[in-house]
Amino acid sequence: MPAEQVTVQDLSESELLARIFPRLNSSPGVLLGPGDDAALVAAPDGRTLISIDTQTQDQDFRLQWNNGYRTSGYDVGWKAAAQNLSDINAMGGTATSLVVSLTMPPSTPVDWVEAFADGLTAAIVELGAPDCSVAGGDLGRGRELAVTVAVVGTLAGMAPVLRSGARPGDVAAVAGTLGRAAAGWALLESDVPLEKLDEELRGFVGNQCRPLPPLAAGPLAARAGATAMLDISDGLLRDGARLATASGAVLDFDPIALKKYAAVLEPAAALLGADAMAWVLGGGEDHGLLATFPAGIQLPQGFTAIGSVQAVVEPPGSGVRIAGHAADTVGWDHFAD
């Protein structure tokens, strides 16, 4: 680290906050933002959606990856915002505010923290959440970087779309991408140097470090009559099993429909000797949506049919199948080895 590099231990908390606050956007949903003991946010229809997520260094991201990529504060800020905005999207709502807690070692460069704030704001604006901004948060000292974000959202008068509403005969559909973030993770963990990756492969790295949840899709699905929905954060099969279990049904995925998602990943799979379909089925963190819709309706823009909802038959299994055959619920598990 250059000798002139300013770190957070060189500034007071007030001085550090003075560098962060100007980098945050404002929105009409935040009536009183950073600066007081608590924020004041609007609840336009009298109800509030709320969710929370945490990213921890070396568990959810690395500062230095095997292939040479260095995770920036901008990356971490973007991803922290994106995954929380996606949770509100999955309920059919829109986000109105974020509260952010950042824990960091005293040796953390101040420009890393400034980039983190820039990433938060950029994700909110560029992903399409114009009514959302950072309402406040907390700074803390710790041995490693950890980011916790709580998000608040509104349903704008609509009913929430739950995981538990899928019924036999419904169409299963997805919005967003499948497997791209998993391919990016594999590339980051590989021994293939970053500079050897072409633009397409670097795009997969981008999907991992700066995911692109389809924020317009959630409210569109709700208005179209989606019967169930969730954010695909831990993999299509694992999250599909959660939706199926909540609904007391079975999701049967069409392998032909899924092949087009795997085809996009073949260059990365060939380079690494991996299975592209495994990324589609088990890879998380693209933060797309899995939703079910009544048969016969026109799917809203951005959604592609990938299967159907079936009644439970014995043995019930995991709740997910591929072409009628039981499938293991591979995917991300925070507490697995």
Whole-number Å distance between alpha carbons of 152 and 91: 12
239 is an annotated ligand-binding site residue: no
191 is an annotated ligand-binding site residue: no
62 is an annotated ligand-binding site residue: no
Residue 321 in tokens: 């199948």
285 is an annotated ligand-binding site residue: yes
Question: How many other CB atoms are found less than 10 A from the CB of residue 302?
Answer: 17
233 is an annotated ligand-binding site residue: yes
CA angle 296–299–301, rounded 5-degree value = 160
10 is an annotated ligand-binding site residue: no
Q: At what angle do helices 199-209 and 180-189 cross, to 10 degrees?
A: 100
275 is an annotated ligand-binding site residue: no
Residue 99 in tokens: 């509260």
Q: In 3-state terms, what secondary structure has residue 109? A: strand
Whole-number Å distance between alpha carbons of 37 and 33: 10
198 is an annotated ligand-binding site residue: no
Among residues 166, 176, 161, 184, the alpha carbon closest in space to that of 61 is found at 184
328 is an annotated ligand-binding site residue: no
143 is an annotated ligand-binding site residue: no
37 is an annotated ligand-binding site residue: yes
185 is an annotated ligand-binding site residue: no
Asked whether 92 and 218 are in contact (CB, 8 A), the reply is yes
Asked whether 235 and 282 are in contact (CB, 8 A), the reply is yes
231 is an annotated ligand-binding site residue: yes
Residues tagged in the binding site annotation for Mg(2+): 37, 51, 53, 87, 138, 231, 234
Residues tagged in the binding site annotation: 37, 51, 53, 60, 87, 137-138, 163, 231, 233-234, 285, 332
Residues tagged in the binding site annotation for ATP: 137-138, 163, 233
Residues tagged in the binding site annotation for substrate: 60, 285, 332
